[in-house]
Structure formats: C-alpha cells, structure tokens
Amino acid sequence: MMKGIQDYYPDHFGQCYGCGRLNEHGYQLKTAWDGEETLTRFTPSAYHTAIPGSVYGGLLASLIDCHGTGSAALALAKEKGIQLEGFNAPRCVTGSLQVSYKKPTPIDSTLEIRGIIKEVKGKKVVVEIRLLSKGEVCVTGEVIAIQVPDDFGK
Ligand SMILES: CCCCCCCCCCCCCCCC(=O)SCCNC(=O)CCNC(=O)[C@H](O)C(C)(C)COP(=O)(O)OP(=O)(O)OC[C@H]1O[C@@H](n2cnc3c(N)ncnc32)[C@H](O)[C@@H]1OP(=O)(O)O
C-alpha cells in the first residue's frame, strides 16, 4: 500500500473513520501527490451499495471529504516547505463539503479520487475533487479545509 499524508499524523489524529491509520474499522485512505494532482484509491465492497450495481452516495461523499482534507494537508506542507517525516504533517478538518453526483458510480471497480488545489490562503485550502470509476468521472466535489492546531479536539 502506498504511503499517504495520513501516515505522518500523530496517533491522536490517527482515528478518523475515513483516513485514520489506527482505525481498524475505517477506510484508512492514503492521500499522496500524483504529479500536480492528489490521488487516493478505494475499492468498494458489494455491501457499499444503494442502487444495485452502484456505490452508496454517502460513502462517496466521505471519500471526497477525507481525500480533500488530506490533499489540503499536502498542499500546506508544500507551501510551507515541510519535509514530511515522523509525525510532522499539517492537519486539517473539513469546513465545508460540496458534492455533485453526475452519474451512478459502478461498484465493481476500484475508485480513483483526484484532487486539484485551487487555493491556499493562510490556514484555509480549497480543493476541487473528481471521483472516477472505470475511468469516468461519476462525482465531483469541493472541500474547504482548515488547518487546526496540535491540541485541536483535546
Ligand atoms: C483528537 C481529535 C482530533 C480531530 C481532528 C483531527 C484533524 C486531523 C486528522 C485528520 C482528520 C481528517 C478529517 C476528516 C474530515 C472530517 O470529518 S473533520 C470533522 C468535521 N469538521 C469539523 O468538525 C470542523 C468543525 N469546525 C471547526 O472546528 C471550526 O469552525 C474550523 C473549521 C476549524 C474553523 O474555525 P477557525 O479556525 O476559527 O476558522 P477561522 O479563523 O474563522 O477561518 C479561517 C478561514 O476559513 C474559512 N472558514 C472557516 N470555517 C469555514 C467553514 N465552515 N466553511 C467554509 N469556510 C470556512 C473562513 O472564512 C476563513 O477564510 P478567509 O476569511 O481567511 O478566506
């Protein structure tokens, strides 16, 4: 499995259902650069369905959510010249999440979720997302992610 920004969050930020490396019941998404874009992959199971043959929309929204915050963390690290090592990644939470379902998402294929960084302004990052199945864009979205301090949630 590829290494993602999520591998550089400390343990107390590692429990996220979508991307926490320590949540054994979660998706454990890994978000990494793929050229100028960010990329993660997720393989749905048959039980992730809503319409027969298609992936449940709420799951798709959560994939966009977590890939968005991970992408924002990557963008902030790049902006600030942070070399990722140990547990030094910037961490972001979702301020807003917008999702648009363009067509049913085939369930029998690994999904590709791609992010484009639209804006980095202080602690705010805007990420545009495309979710593809079998090479076709099925869902688009936008995440506004906000950087939080180390003691956030404590
Ligand atoms: C121990 C547990 C830890 C848990 C955390 C760990 C975090 C790392 C681990 C990975 C985890 C992954 C996470 C997955 C995705 C979730 O599921 S995260 C969970 C869902 N999200 C939340 O619960 C967030 C709740 N909201 C908040 O805590 C606060 O409102 C926020 C979002 C941190 C922002 O508060 P703030 O720092 O006071 O922001 P503020 O200075 O007012 O605004 C800064 C900028 O952001 C913009 N902004 C602020 N809020 C919003 C908003 N809601 N919508 C749009 N723009 C906004 C402002 O307009 C401003 O923009 P500019 O004027 O500079 O252009």
Query: Largest alpha-carbon pair distance within the chain?
Result: 46
Within 8 A by CB and 6+ apart from 57, the residues are: 50, 99, 101, 139
Q: Are 86 and 142 in contact (CB under 8 A)?
A: no
Whether 30 is in a domain gets the answer yes
The 8-class DSSP code of residue 50 comes to S
User: Over the stretch 6-22, which tens digit does the pLDDT of each residue have?
Assistant: 999 999 899 999 999 99
User: Over the stretch 54-86, which tens digit does the pLDDT of each residue have?
Assistant: 999 999 999 999 999 999 999 999 999 999 999
Residue span of the structural domain in which 94 resides: 5-147
Taking CA atoms only, the protein residue closest to ligand 1 atom 58 is: 124
Whether 153 is in a domain gets the answer no
CATH number of the domain residue 55 falls in: 3.10.129.10
pTM beyond 0.90: yes
> Which mutation among 6, 22, 146 tests ligand 1's pocket best, with the greatest number of atoms within 8 A of CB?
146
Taking CA atoms only, the protein residue closest to ligand 1 atom 48 is: 95
